[in-house]
Amino acid sequence: MTRYAIASVLLAALCLGAPSLQADTPPTRKIELTRMDERLFATLDFRDIIDGPLQKKLTSGLPTRIVVQVNLEGHNKNKPLSYWVRSVSIVYDLWEEVFVVTVEDDQGQRRAQVKTSGEAVTLACRVERSAVAQIGELPGGVYRLRVSVEVNPVSKEMVENIRRWLARPSGGGEVSHGSFFGSFVGIFVDRRIGQADRSSTFVSQWFRVGGQ
């Protein structure tokens, strides 16, 4: 009887925990995956992250940065097994009327000029058959890719600075019971500050390596 009670409690606890476990799993997108020379090649397309307002922002004359991170992860493994990152900057030249697209990844830096924002977005948000992981030494098993995309991510240094600007008002001493210098600015600041303009995470389908 005691065992049933324990089992019931465990079951109930797991039932309560299950929704949050599922909520942490990002959506799955079918990604074209191939292997060559012990390397894993992926074709990614995340053009949908550039929505209407961001499309408009592309012509602001200021840079729009898109950073994609691809992690290889095994089943029930918390740590990524490999890590690949690509950063793309799009800047509209006001006088030449072209979009300057700069790509940086493990292949180095390269730059191109295109005439339309659609072309710029395609260059930035399509990864065509890129080697995203070494899989030659992996033990046989089931794996998948976790892809995180951020538009205009905020650097760690900038986040530190923002924190400093926000913290300033509370930097006062409590000479009475309540901060004398507490001008409460931090309270009214939108909590989104310090986050990317857009971010999206998705995972690939599971795929098998070795152990056939």
Partner 1 sequence: MHRRRSSVCALALLALQVPAFALAQEPVQLADVDFESETENDGAEDDLPQVRWVSSPLEGAQEIPPEAEQSAVPRYDLERIVVIGNRKTQRHVILRYIEVSPGETFQASDPRLETARYRLLASGLFHDVDLSLARGSKRGKAILTVRVDERNTILVRQIVAGFSELTPYGSLDIGDHSFFGTKVDVSTAAVFSKKQYGYRLRLSDNHFLRSDFGLHIEGLYSHARDFFGHESVCVETCPAPESPAGYDNFAVMRYDRAGLRLGSSYALPAGAFLHLTHRIEEVSAHMPPAASHVSFGETRPIVFGHLQPGHSIVSSLTLGIVRDTRDNIWLPSTGNRTALDVEVATELIGSNYEFSKFTLSHDEHFPLGRKHSLKLGLFAGLIMGDAPFFDQFFVGDFSAFVPSRVLDLNFSHLQPNLLKTAVQEMRYEDLSASISLEYSIPLYRGHGFFYGINAYFGLGAFMLASRDHLRTETDRYKGFRAVPMDLTVDLGVRVDTRIGPIVFNLANLFRLIPAVGDRTAQE
> Which of 54, 81, 85, 100 lies at the binding interface for partner 1 (CB under 8 A)?
100
* Two tokens, residue 75: 């089943």
Nearest distance from residue 77's CB to partner 1, in Å? 12
Q: Which of residues 32-61 bind partner 1 (CB under 8 A)?
A: 32-36, 40-41, 43, 57, 60-61
Q: Does 77 bind partner 1 (CB under 8 A)?
A: no
**Residue reference for tokens 């925990």:** 17
Determine the 3-state secondary structure of 180 from DSSP: coil
**Inter-CA distances, 189 with 150, 165, 166, Å:** 22, 11, 8
Number of Cα atoms under 13 Å in the Cβ half of residue 106 = 12
Q: Which of residues 57-76 bind partner 1 (CB under 8 A)?
A: 57, 60-63, 75-76
Eight-state DSSP code of residue 27: P
Q: Does 170 bind partner 1 (CB under 8 A)?
A: yes
Nearest distance from residue 149's CB to partner 1, in Å? 18
Interior angle at CA 134, CA 133 and CA 135, nearest 5 = 110
Q: Does 80 bind partner 1 (CB under 8 A)?
A: no
Residue 167 phi, psi dihedral angles, 5° rounding = -75, -20
The residue (of 60 and 201) whose beta carbon lies closer to partner 1 is 60
Q: Which residue type is seen at 78?
A: N
Q: Which of residues 13-32 bind partner 1 (CB under 8 A)?
A: 14-15, 17-18, 20-22, 25, 28, 32
Q: Which of residues 121-140 bind partner 1 (CB under 8 A)?
A: 122-123, 126, 128-129
> Which of 9, 48, 83, 107 lies at the binding interface for partner 1 (CB under 8 A)?
107
Provide the 10 A C-beta neighbour count for residue 13: 10
> Which of 9, 51, 83, 168 lies at the binding interface for partner 1 (CB under 8 A)?
168
* Two tokens, residue 155: 């650097």
